[in-house]
Structure 1
């Protein structure tokens, strides 16, 4: 069962989404709200798997809400669901950690497919948005990787984490003890200024450390 939490100030859109998702096998609506000002606490309480987040809402915009959610809930899947298809909003959503970017004109069947894709670890986007993203990245100069002074061994441990391995699997792969793995990971967290495996993996990928 995929638990959904959604934020949209348009009442008709919100009610339509609740009706669609509630009547789709494998989906459960955990909550639906007209603004995202309490989103961080809502997620802590309601434990959704996927959040659908509009951009243009009163009080706090969806982009601002996205940034706050990501700071406290780095692992929850967040899909922007909006009418905005401009470069600025797309870029900001990706920069702040959106799991995907969908337009409200997406068909119900496709929306369900996209939500399942996000739950499975994908990054769904409408074709027009994906084209924009490719063009944006094509025009960017590759940035030099920051120097976090990771040792070669620490980079190997980090690569293993990026590959999805557990501490036990890292130890077996590198033929070292679990305690040694933990020691390397403590050092990696300190050097990268992160507090969790997901943050370390995200920073490794974003800054091209492995």
Structure 2
């Protein structure tokens, strides 16, 4: 079954190029393409794509604000920022707004399509430059918390050592198959651990889990 995609970008040439990349692959289906955040806010809840490629600077409402408004009422829609921005502030603002991935526009067409598939399969794709910034930010926070603290978090309990180990690997951007190989366990076992991590942390995806556990 094809992965359905919407594109939001106010630069015509870039938007048309992204449209062609998606259209030329049988594994993906383009549901809609929009030149403004306002149009996206109106149409995406109706189209309900699997993945949205979202630019940040849209002239009117920003892509980050667009994600912030759409995500709560459309939790199953996965948003991947596709932008020229590499600043830490933009990256973490986008992830905090609900973005599930963050890639740069200079990403090759093949890598772009791979990232869309990875996102739809539970991953959180990021361009290597972005992933390094995210990992560095987490490392600068010091050791992983041993216990979740404060408010309702106290009721969530602590992750097992294996779950913490897997969460740290997720934070580094590893795919399930890479985690499987590194820990010498099956991909299905990795999936089960990830499911329990999401359940314990009351989150829906990798980025939310990492942000919550590391206290961002």
Post-superposition offset of 1:148: 1.8
Question: What secondary structure sits across from 2:141 in the alignment?
Answer: coil
Q: Does 1:7 align with 2:8?
A: yes
Larger Rg: 1
Structure 1, gaps ≥5 residues long: 166-196
CA–CA distance in structure 1, aligned partners of residues 209 and 126 of structure 2: 23
Structure 1's consecutive aligned runs of 4 or more residues displaced over 6 angstroms after TM superposition are none
CA–CA distance in structure 1, aligned partners of residues 104 and 75 of structure 2: 23
Match of residue 203 from structure 2:
201
CA–CA distance in structure 1, aligned partners of residues 97 and 195 of structure 2: 23
Post-superposition offset of 1:164: 3.3
* Pairwise CA RMSD: 2.9
Q: Does 1:145 align with 2:149?
A: yes
Post-superposition offset of 1:145: 2.2
Give a deviation string over 1:24-64, Cα, whole Å, max 9, x none: 01111100001112434322211200000000111101111
TM-score (normalised: structure 1): 0.72
Match of residue 179 from structure 2:
none
Match of residue 58 from structure 1:
59
CA–CA distance in structure 2, aligned partners of residues 126 and 150 of structure 1: 34
Question: What secondary structure sits across from 1:148 in the alignment?
Answer: helix
CA–CA distance in structure 1, aligned partners of residues 30 and 47 of structure 2: 10
Match of residue 102 from structure 1:
103
Q: Does 1:132 align with 2:133?
A: yes
Structure 2, gaps ≥5 residues long: 164-191
Give a deviation string over 1:92-143, Cα, whole Å, max 9, x none: 1111221110000000011011110001010001111100111111222567
CA–CA distance in structure 2, aligned partners of residues 205 and 10 of structure 1: 32
Give a deviation string over 1:158-193, Cα, whole Å, max 9, x none: x9x98537xxxxxxxxxxxxxxxxxxxxxxxxxxxx
TM-score (normalised: structure 2): 0.70
- Which runs of structure 2 are paired with 1:33-44 in the superposition (5 Å)? 33-44=34-45
